[in-house]
Structures are given as C-alpha cells and as structure tokens.
A and B are shown apart, each in its own frame.
Chain A
C-alpha cells in the first residue's frame, strides 16, 4: 500500500446519531440478537457517548435524532436511509424500506428529522426492501494523471436485508452507478459489515461475507483493498467510519493497525460491545450526512444505450 494519490474521503465529517435511551434487544432479526442477552443500558450509554466524543475529536460534527420508546434499533442510524449531498443539487434523503416489521416504525421518525433539517425526501419507487447506508456505501477512486477521477460508485449489498431490485431503483433515483454484491454469510447481513471505504485508494473488505463475484467486483472498484482476517471481520472491523485520516473502529487487531498506519491512517478504537449484542458497530450507529452520491463528472453524459440483439432464429 502507498499513500500516493490517496485522496481522503470527500465525506464523513458530519454524522447523525441517536442516543441509546431506549436501546435494547427486544426481538431477534440477526444472528447476534438474543433477547435473553440484553445490553447493559448504562454501559451502552457510556459507549455511545465515547463514540460521539471520538468522532468529534476526530473533527466530525454530530447531529442527534431523538430516541423513541419502542424503537430500540433507532440507534442504528446507518439504516435510516441514503443521504445525497452532491454539490450543485438539493440535499436529498431516501428513506429505507426495512425488511423486518420490527424496524419499519423507524422510517417515519427518520423521515421527519430529515424533512425538518432541510432535506428533500425522495421515496424509493417500488416495494422492494432496502436498508439505506447500511447496504450501500459510495466509493470514489482517486483519479490518475491520465484520466479524471470517475464519480462515486455505490457498493450495495443484497439478499439478506435489501433486494437487488431496489438497487436499480436507487441507481435511477440518484443517478449513481451501483455495484451489487451478494451477501452470502448471515453474520454479515449488511454491506457495511464487509466494506468500509477509507479514501480514494483503500477500503476495508471482509471477503468472508462475499462470494467470488463480490470479491472481484471489489477488486475492480478499489485500487488497494485491505482484506480483513476472519477474526477482524467477526469483530466488526469493517463497521468503522473515517473522519479525514482517522479511522474510528469498534476494534482493531495489531496487524490491521499496522496496515492502516502504513497507509497513512490513524486508528481510534472505541468499543461498542453492548451494541454488538444487537449486531451493530460504529458504522451502524452513525449515518454520514454529507455523502455526495449523484455526482455527474464531465464526459459521463449521454443516455444512449447500445443494443445487441440476437436473432431468435
């Protein structure tokens, strides 16, 4: 890995979080959730406050969503929806369509917050499930001297929580290209458990949650992927966020720490063990409010598809 040409993320300086007053494990919709293993409310609160402090210390601005009783997973803001803050366009919010009824009540609160905070709310057409930034993360490769940087590409996961049919709708709605990857391991039920963009060159990738096609897609998209070991993936290392050159992680192995430092990153570990009982890490607890998804780089215009038709006889 090298630092050359590694452009820091253009986003990740402003986050939405939700305090865990009403956080608990009240139902089981992923392999981590066990209603008999409830999180400790006080410890959850202190972990959350530490996370917010770490983000702010790293230079991020943090906004707050009001917790709601009866919606314990509202703390996992990443699943609220997709945020598009592309320059030159309106700030847009695409609310999620949760697969599980247990979480569907969150959407109204998410949408209300965004509407009150100056976002245009764009509903996703169709009725396919889609779980927001938890299942779609933008990656924008750094350009090289000979060609301009391409626009961001959404790496989107499907099968566990989101439908691949929703990816096409997202792409159309936001005007952003999507790479759909199948999530093949139920432990990694959202794409943010297997993929974390770090800058224009690097991303954390947990191949354990992808199949060979997904790994190839990531290899084609990310110039220098940082592949996670089994234990790193299992401890939610990919469920991290990046503020400039600071990687805020729920855990980090010495091996991974050395790799990240070598690539020019500073690692800030902030444990979120109580939230991992519900299957969420740092990324799940935050929603970046400054993601530019619908960029329109020059030279990428025109809408003429090329058609190949094979004769039926």
Chain B
C-alpha cells in the first residue's frame, strides 16, 4: 500500500533551490509528488509557500523520506484531529459524514493516527473514544447499523487513505496483509483493472482478448499461495498450542478463499468442478443466492438445471417445474443441512459445503422462487451475514454473478485479491466501476474456467450421480 501526505515548504525556497532540492529528494527516494499549491513571493523579500503532496510506496518509506526532508524545512502540514459528531438517530448519519473507500484508512484521534478496522466502502467511520486503559479505536459502520450517540467522523479532515500500490510495481504488492507475504511472488504479478492505484469509479480496463490459460494459472496461483499461508499459520498455531487447530476467530489472517457463485455456474456444468474445489479444501466460504442454491440442488437431485438435463442438454418434459419441486422439498426438510443429514441431498456444491463445514451465505432477491429456507431474505441481514464472513478473506472469486458479486465487492477491503469471471464483459467492468478496482477481470465462459481452475490445482470434479 502506498502512503501519501502533504508537505509544506515556506521561505525563500525558490531562489535558494530548496524547493528543487526537496523535489529531487522526493523523486530520488522513489516517491512521487504533486504540487497542490504554490505561492511565490513577488518581491525579493517575500517568502514563498508551497504545498506538496508526496506519495511513497509505503508508510515506512514516507516516514523515512519525511525525516530526511525535515532538515530542509519541509514539514508535514499540520493535521488536525478528525471531527466527530454524534449520530442523532439510529440508522441516520450526521450531515457531512465521511464516506469510506475500501482502502486502508486512518483517522487522527488525539494527535495519533488510528487505523480504521474492517475497511469497507460506502460506510461511515465510528470512533470509540479512548477510555481507561484503552486507546481510541475506529471502525467502519454501514448506515443502517449506526446507533444514536455513535461518534461519527464528519468531513475529510484528519482522515488519511492509503492508496494501493499498482500491482506488479514492486515486491509485496499482493493481498497478504500479515507478515507472511507470499513467497512465490504470484501476487506481485497480478494485473489490476485500473493499474492506476487510487480509488475511483468508471476506470476499468477489461478485455476479452486476453489469454485464458494465463488467467487460470494466476487464479490457481492465488489459491495455492492462500493455502500455503493457511498451512503456515496453522502450523504456527499448533506450535503454540498442541492440538489446537481452530481456524476461525478474530486472529484470522487474510488467507481464506471466498467464492461468489451465480446460477450459471450450474447451468454451464461447472458445479462438479466447484464441488471438487470445496471438497478438497480450496474454498473457505461461499456466497450465493437462491438461484445458485436451487439449481445446485436440482442438478444434484434431478440431474437438471432449470429443467435442462446437464447430461443431455435438451429440456426435460415438465422440467420447468423441477426447481420448484426441489425448493419445496428443501422447505420440507427445513434447511439444506437437514436435507444432507437426511440423505436426500447427496452431492453438489452445497452438499460439499455442509460436509466440509464451509460456511455459506445465501442472500435473497425479489424474484426468488420459494425461497430455500437458508436464504436470508432481509437484505440488510444478508449483507451483515456476508460482512461477518468476509473477515480473513484474502482471495475472492466471483463466478458468473452480477448482484452478489457487486454486493460482495462492496464489503471487501481493497487488499483482497479479487477475480471476476463472467462471459459478459460489462459485468466485469461494472464490478470495477463500483469501486472494487482491485478486481482482475476474466471474460470467459465460467463452466470452462472453473473446470480448468480445478484441474490446475488438482481438485477432482465431483460428478453428479445422475
């Protein structure tokens, strides 16, 4: 992550070439600058005043640079604490609230820069003031969850956003945010949709004319490095407490893999490959909707997806009702897990999730049939459920999904390696244009892609019994 801050330089800095020297030092250090404001004295006695925004590759290198610039009279612009205003009502933010990006953000509280927990776009920042023995903390809070009296950051003063280093521009540019930076270097080679770095909308650059085998290998590489991070962390935990292998908790590193799946995953015949990925431990959490779940179960139980036999391809007689019958049965069982326990559901992606203990969140939408009992129909509750599962995610793969992909993208910090696979270029672009610019777009058929991905990591597909 790169870091930016504004410097001030005052005095006879132009004729003394101090400005030139400071800018040279900035560039020589590998940082970049932008002159925000320059007030040049018109007489020989008038001092000049310059404000320079400096961007370095990391907070550490910015600190080192600033330390070296201080002697030349270039100082950090005096920063003020973030302005805090209490929320007047539940679910209503104060006017002028600071709206977050998905980038790592810090707020200045009591003269100290405090990291905002759980970076998430389109939220507010709520500050817990320091109390006895505890320093002030800050966290992102979606609008509906703000409570009366919460101290909300207003305006952008005292807020600092660290910009992502464009991927491929130096070591350690990957998603890993713990000390276990990926060792095989895959992350550093990923292309981003923008390549530009800063947070913004409508800045994507996706093309269908990119070699797919390379894309598959990149995603496979991300899965492998996430797995090796999990294994290293798990090894460390075992070292600390023999026998203790609990993987979920507050201490999770960013090494979980999230898959967001749309119904086309099933329609295109990719479900067995995805089921294999789940069974073999390549996926740690699944987000989907009623449609994907329905067709996954339909294909597992009846061998059709939206009434079309996956083996034959021709619509089955009265197949249009297949998905309704499946939903009805699931409602009879009460939940997917119950259907698995009863032996009625014995294959498919969700079956493997239940068997492997992989959590899934099914978020409903207005056109859902049924829905399946597991589907969370209250969108706020669904988003909250997804929000809880996003913790510790280091890799996100969006498969042929628009609404759920964008909803997930909204929840993910910018540091999460995100891949968006869709046959429709517009979907891939749209995800980026909604701010998830860290996403790498792969425009291709999802059925072929998932099968190749499973093969690349060595996960055997789990064929449907029919």
Which A residue's beta carbon lies closest to that of B75?
Answer: A165
Per-position 1/0 for B28-52, Cβ under 8 A of A: 0000001111111111111111000
Whether B45 lies near A177 (C-beta < 8 A) is: yes
B319 at the interface (CB under 8 A from A): no
Please tell me which stretch of B13-21, B163-171, B290-298, B334-342 contacts chain A, meaning at least 4 of its Cβ atoms lie within 8 angstroms of it. B13-21
3 closest A-B pairs by CB: A168-B11, A164-B73, A213-B17
Enumerate A137-158 residues with CB–CB distance to B below 8 Å: 150-151, 153, 158
Q: Is the CB of B42 within 8 A of A217?
A: no
- CB contacts (< 8 Å) of B246 on chain A: these are none
Q: Within the assembled complex, what's the spacing in Å between the Cα atoms of A211 and B40?
A: 24
> How far, in Å, is A192 (CB) from chain B's closest CB?
18
Flag if B45 contacts A220 (CB, 8 Å).
Answer: no
A170 — nearest CB in chain B belongs to which residue?
Answer: B11
Closest to B38 in A: A308
Contact between chains at A181 and B16 (CB < 8 Å) = yes
CA distance A147 to B45 in the complex (A): 18
Q: Which single residue of chain B is at the shortest CB-CB distance from A213?
A: B17
CB distance A213 to B35 under 8 Å?
no
**Contact in complex: B43, A301 (CB < 8 Å):** yes
Task: Say yes or no: A179-B16 contact (C-beta < 8 A), given A164-B72, A312-B36.
Answer: yes
Chain A residue with Cβ nearest B18: A180
Known interface pairs A167-B73, A217-B16; 8 further A-B residue pairs with C-beta atoms within 8 A, sorted by A's residue number: A171-B47, A172-B47, A177-B15, A177-B44, A180-B73, A305-B46, A307-B38, A310-B38
Per-position 1/0 for A180-223, Cβ under 8 A of B: 11100000000000000000000000000001011011001000
What is the interface size of chain B, counting residues whose CB is below 8 A from a CB of the partner?
Answer: 29
Do B11 and A171 touch across chains, with their CB atoms under 8 A apart?
yes
Asked whether any CB of chain B lies closer than 8 Å to the CB of A304, the reply is yes
Residue in B closest to A301 when the chains form the complex, CB atoms: B43
Task: Tell me, rounded to whole Å, the shortest Cβ–Cβ distance linking B107 to chain A.
Answer: 20
Residues of the A chain whose Cβ atoms lie less than 8 Å from the Cβ of B73 = 158, 163-165, 167-168, 180
Contacts of B72 in A (CB 8 A): 158, 164, 182
Chain B residues near A182: list those with CB within 8 A. Answer: 21, 71-72
B21, B34, B44: the one contacting A310 at CB < 8 Å is B34
Is A307 a contact partner of B39 (Cβ separation < 8 A)?
yes
Q: CB of B10 within 8 A of chain A?
A: yes
Cross-chain contact A179 with B12 (CB below 8 angstroms): yes
* A305 CB contact (under 8 Å) in B11, B17, B34, B39: B39
Set of chain A residues within 8 Å of B21, measured between Cβ atoms: 182, 211, 213
B16 touches A180 (CB 8 A): yes
Q: How many residues of A contact B (CB 8 A)?
A: 38
A–B pairs, 23, beta carbons within 8 Å: A150-B44, A159-B71, A168-B10, A168-B11, A177-B12, A177-B45, A178-B11, A178-B12, A178-B16, A182-B71, A300-B44, A302-B42, A303-B43, A305-B39, A305-B40, A305-B41, A305-B46, A306-B40, A307-B37, A307-B39, A309-B36, A309-B37, A309-B38
Q: Note all chain A residues with C-beta closer than 8 A to B45.
A: 171, 175-177, 300
**What CA separation (Å) do A168 and B11 show in the bound complex?**
5
The interface residues of chain A lying within 8 Å CB-to-CB of B41 are: 305-306
Q: Give the shortest distance, in Å, between B135 (CB) and chain A (any CB).
A: 30
Residues in B with CB closer than 8 Å to A177 are 12, 15, 44-45
> Is the Cβ of B40 less than 8 Å from the Cβ of A171?
no
A214 vs B17: C-alpha distance in the bound complex, in angstroms?
8
Residues of chain A within 8 A (CB-CB) of B13 are 180
Residue interface bits B1-25, CB-to-A below 8 A is 1, else 0 = 0000000001111011110110000
Question: A312 to nearest B CB, angstroms?
Answer: 7
Q: Are B39 and A306 in contact (CB under 8 A)?
A: yes
A159 to B72, CA, bound (A): 8
Asked whether A180 lies within 8 Å of B46 as measured between CB atoms, the reply is no
Closest Cβ of chain B to A280, distance in Å, is 24
**B71 A310 Cβ-Cβ under 8 A:** no
**Given A150-B44, A176-B45, A308 contacting B15 (CB threshold 8 A):** no
Q: Within the complex, what minimum Cβ distance (angstroms) separates B203 from chain A?
A: 13
Nearest residue (CB) in A for B200 is A313
A159 to B69, CA, bound (A): 11
0/1 per residue, A36-48, Cβ < 8 Å to B? 0000000000000
List, in ascending order, chain B residues with CB within 8 A of A307's CB: 37-39
Chain B min CB distance to A311 (Å): 9
